[in-house]
Chains A and B, each alone.
Chain A
């Protein structure tokens, strides 16, 4: 017996209203989804400009320009990128940046509203409290019994405090994020590659936008520091001992560059350069003609900056990534970024208030092979859900950037700035 459909009991006019509303919702939803996909596709198609506008404050630009005038020109090399591929990459980067800036403005607005409602106590950038003097810190530290290490999870020493969530030590690969989009670029040979992208990162593929070259390590300052002239008359050091009294009296303790112990000596937190043709050799001069202040020695939290400081142009990204604050709040020397008292910025010797970063200072360039020493996957824990080694790409972290490498050649394809 054929089935008969039960006639609808709803009134004809209500039926039409439901149909209309449903169709309207469908149209709106399809419009939203279609717009999103069209935006992503357009990012891959149209050429444009990659360098962000106004990336650096005007004063920083002046600062950087002055430093660039005193530094040698950076060499550029490697394969030429086909013009159409370079233009395509620039447009992709520009479109991504516009999306991220919009997202960042939205997030900043939300953060301001949250801060206003919670009335949190957060120090402003550039006004970070100075680190405590080491002697005082030793006396003040409470005696907390250390927790046991071992294969079983130790008891939480912070019992009684609000529970905090620990970062996964990376023992288990995290699940991939749901907000990542695969954005296509072309390398110097015109080959397409993809970089996982979202609002947390900014991808750089242009050679002119990446590859900040750190200045040479520990360039000596001419002259003799006050601490040495006060201790050794005329800045003439006593004869050196053989073997050195302590291992760190050998200048190589501080750097492989100082491999001539006749020319360099350690004293009072400085590596001292001796003058004359024969340096500090027997019978030669022991007069100090230059010095390199050392981290933990002359460059210590709480002390005034020693000697003349030559400004160094840090990438604008670094002021955000390392939380450096405004101009005058930091100094760079010998692959180390120091925080200094911003109110002393105009002084020649501001007080060092902290150490913001230690850098490897490697020269890593788009289109060039990754330097040696990056054999191990070292992506920070919070980005491991976005960047994992695989057959199509390797990822290595260095000095604030995650670099995407081509697995076969280890050529650097992209530098990824970690903006959130």
Chain B
């Protein structure tokens, strides 16, 4: 019987799933992903989660709870840093233990270190440590790693061209959301942590709202890394969170290049990274003065009307400004 590896559909699933999926499948494991978020699943999981953490973290609890009985191993990588000279939110690094001590009856957790802060080649080593404990040879592991890397690069490229993550990850291959077309009426950039942007339950499917309003959506994944690196110079300090860098760099890029009419920053309540990055973005928007800005903070409310109202108002403002400009 093949071993089943469980991956919760939460947090950095929305970025690195293609890699993990290809890696484990090449090694001959079954990959089980938790169901997409829905009310029952989330409510059940929130009972186990600590009330001081942010909602994406609580959702990780919920998704772990959802698959814990169907799998032999849980894959919760310990994300310390995904790039040189950056680090991740510390909650991610403590996640394996937080889950272990909060949810009873969990299967064994595989928690390889992902720590690229000082050197760029530690991932293969920690993954092979993990996989060789499961009885795989180093040749197989290397091959799987390369497959994973390839799958990730492929997805990354497609994201740069404007495809959105949830659709890319569905194996059935649903129809894509509209990729940016130049003839489209309104152009909106959305930034935020990937797990905020791409979980339709969490953000009330706001990408869909945008699409239905005939907007073309620009995401931070569409800004190349070199561009981000050059944009965030001039703060007198390295922005050390990799997610924060990406959000700030992409926002500055869109503000400066005047590619878009509006910028939406999606954040969640009590996010530590956003609490420091958002003021910087806001200030740049004020300096720039041309782009409309909406900061949408999502908390545990279950009604979509708050988000809907603000989105509608925002889109209408964008629309009106465009018409005014055309009239003038």
* Real binding pair: no
